[in-house]
Amino acid sequence: MQGACLLLLPGLWLQLSLGLVPVEEEDPAFWNRQAAQALDVAKKLQPIQTAAKNVILFLGDGMGVSTVTAARILKGQMDGKPGPETPLAMDQFPYVALSKTYNVDRDVPDSAGTSTAYLCGVKTNMRTIGVSAAARFDQCSTTRGNEVTSVLNRAKKAGKSVGVVTTTRVQDASPAGAYAHTVNRDWFSDADLPADAQTYGCQDIATQLIYNMDIDVILGGGRKYMFPEGTPDPEYPDDASENGVRKDKRNLVQEWQAKHQGAQYVWNRTALLQASTNFSVTHLMGLFQPGEMAYDIFRDHTTDPSLEEMTEAALRVLSRNPRGFFLFVEGGRIDHGHHANIAYRALTETIMFDNAIAKASQLTSEADTLTLVTADHSHVFTFGGYPLRGTSIFGLADGKASDRKSYTSLLYGNGPGYRLNMGSRADVNEKQSVDPEYQQQAAVPLGSETHAGEDVAVFARGPWAHLMHGVQEQTFVAHVMAFAACVEPYTTDCHPQRPSGPSDTAHQLHPASEMGESTSQAAGGFDGPVACPLSQVLNRRLFSSALYRPTAAAPKKFWRTVHMQQGRNWVK
């Protein structure tokens, strides 16, 4: 596909034996001019030190830096260019930090512990969500008293509208960090709760989605956890495996609709697009698949919305609140593509995620909206082998390996791509490697490829985005969002909100005539930017719930032992 595009532009490229490089790049003036322009932009950067009316957190599940780089090249190639020179939407954010992703009990984390870190500001144990590390995996009785609170919850308390958008199930680990407290990320519905969890009063994640707080927009997959066991799915009525699964016979969608006048539930793309432009809709829930949504390359465009469309729909509903909003958007299936060792899936999902970021950047203003883009963790996904410029990102590395066979520039450290052919590694040609179903080779056999432990990037744009600097704990993400938006625990350190102007978010999303109220929160109170006492603010207590009581006495043991769980391949 990209090769064909390149061949349309023969005059602009110097063709090597296999690759293509832009001729202009041979001229030093090209690089000097480009760097001077970048320098000019950098010199003009002005920190925005007024309150963020809105906050958007984009979470690419499993989107390590190697994934960002490879997706950038793919996106550039799909645009008819060699690839690496073409910026993603997230590349254009002015500030970047590194985030240390480890869980309290693991050097390499899962998506549950990490969502607690970047949404609640507290690190915890693997497989647990919205509880501190004092809680124990799968032990319901350790939940109570150890709950920690998310930025989404705090934003709601501050009067903002809040939303959760994902391509996975809305009850999955990443979005659940916004609203749930659970010692087991797999307790999606009551059917997943063991007997002792029911005895101790632990609730399934789907029930918590409806009752823990008032979430204005909920979009993603996960229909089956909301309906009574045996309820036929509206899209797959003849497939019993897609039926509702709740053993308590509750219809959580109906219960949610009864709670809010103006609540609308949709399960397909057409209804979503209609509901998002209907001003009588105050609460919007869209569940587009019984389980996870399809990879975008397999999506039915008539029934299922893209992540970009869901993001736009969410912004349209949330931006009606003059006090602003908090929105969490997850590109959740980047992770799944990597677990399967199918880079094509992971990278195309990353591009769809980037398209959603581009859309949100168009629809919001940098002046009043803090947007962060990050990942929960990386994957053992590598990009190497000196491939020629302009060759497919899914193509071969230059030259042969020591076994005299070709190899791809994309590879995995472990996973199902490990295969031996007559006792040795299979040879590969480009026709095979560019197939969308091709599994890149892995060094170690595993049924599901693992996460990786290196730092991930945090890209930042908008008010207080400049705080995203240096190497930080992942918890810093939640604290910057809370501080920028002036929500708990930073309400006493508040900075003035910028008066709304014609370029601000609400005006971009809605014509002025449709805006019933002023979008300014700072009427009469704006005195211009004021520096915050950051040294005080950032040394504050970490987030914790009112229920959380730290141990009075100093702990006697400095270490506790965590145990390996051999033979289990359950990390997601």
Give contact residues for Zn ion (rule: CB under 5 A). 335, 572
- CA dist., res. 414 & res. 434, Å (int): 20
Sign for the CA dihedral angle at 74, 76, 82, 87 comes to negative
**Shortest distance, position 390 Cβ to Zn ion, whole Å:** 32
**Shortest distance, position 188 Cβ to Zn ion, whole Å:** 16
Contacts of 112-116 spanning 24+ positions with Cβ under 8 A? 112/173, 112/176, 112/177, 112/185, 114/376, 114/377, 114/474, 115/59, 115/173, 115/174, 115/175, 115/176, 115/177, 115/178, 115/376, 116/148, 116/177
**Which residue, 246 or 377, has its beta carbon nearer to Zn ion?**
377
Active site residue 111: yes
**Which residue, 495 or 572, has its beta carbon nearer to Zn ion?**
572
Phi/psi of residue 434, each to 5°? -90, 0
**CA proximity to 130, closest of 446, 491, 519, 144:** 144
**Shortest distance, position 67 Cβ to Zn ion, whole Å:** 12
Q: Which two tokens stand for residue 76?
A: 């550039």
**Shortest distance, position 335 Cβ to Zn ion, whole Å:** 4
**CA proximity to 330, closest of 358, 304, 345, 349:** 349
Q: Which two tokens stand for residue 520?
A: 């300014």
Crossing angle between the packed helical segments 343-363 and 307-318, to the nearest 10 degrees: 30
CA distances from 88 to 91, 93, 358, 362, 459 (A): 5, 10, 9, 14, 12
- CA dist., res. 118 & res. 184, Å (int): 18
**Which residue, 335 or 455, has its beta carbon nearer to Zn ion?**
335
H or E element, residue 507: helix 505-509
- What DSSP assignment string belongs to 245-292? -BTT---HHHHHHHH-TTEEEE-SHHHHHHHHT-TT--EEEEE-SSSS
**Which residue, 389 or 572, has its beta carbon nearer to Zn ion?**
572
Q: Which two tokens stand for residue 394?
A: 């899914």
User: Active site residue: 66, 99, 111, 433, which one?
Assistant: 111
**Which residue, 298 or 570, has its beta carbon nearer to Zn ion?**
570
**Which residue, 127 or 316, has its beta carbon nearer to Zn ion?**
127
**Shortest distance, position 571 Cβ to Zn ion, whole Å:** 7
**CA proximity to 465, closest of 43, 40, 45, 48:** 48
DSSP β-bridge partners for residue 284: 217, 264
**Shortest distance, position 331 Cβ to Zn ion, whole Å:** 12
**Shortest distance, position 307 Cβ to Zn ion, whole Å:** 17
Crossing angle between the packed helical segments 475-485 and 111-120, to the nearest 10 degrees: 30
**Shortest distance, position 451 Cβ to Zn ion, whole Å:** 6
**Which residue, 320 or 572, has its beta carbon nearer to Zn ion?**
572
CB 215 within 8 A of CB 179: yes
**Shortest distance, position 454 Cβ to Zn ion, whole Å:** 15
Phi/psi of residue 216, each to 5°? -75, -35
Instruction: Determine the residue with CB nearest Zn ion.
Output: 335
**Shortest distance, position 243 Cβ to Zn ion, whole Å:** 27
CA end-to-end span of the chain, whole Å?
A: 32
**Which residue, 316 or 572, has its beta carbon nearer to Zn ion?**
572
- What DSSP assignment string belongs to 203-234? --HHHHHHHSS--SEEEEE-GGGGSBTTPPPS
**Which residue, 53 or 336, has its beta carbon nearer to Zn ion?**
336
> Following CA atoms 538, 540, 542, 545 in sequence, which dihedral angle do they give, to the nearest 10 degrees?
-140
**Which residue, 421 or 569, has its beta carbon nearer to Zn ion?**
569
- What DSSP assignment string belongs to 99-121? EE---SS-SS--HHHHHHHHHHS
Active site residues: 111
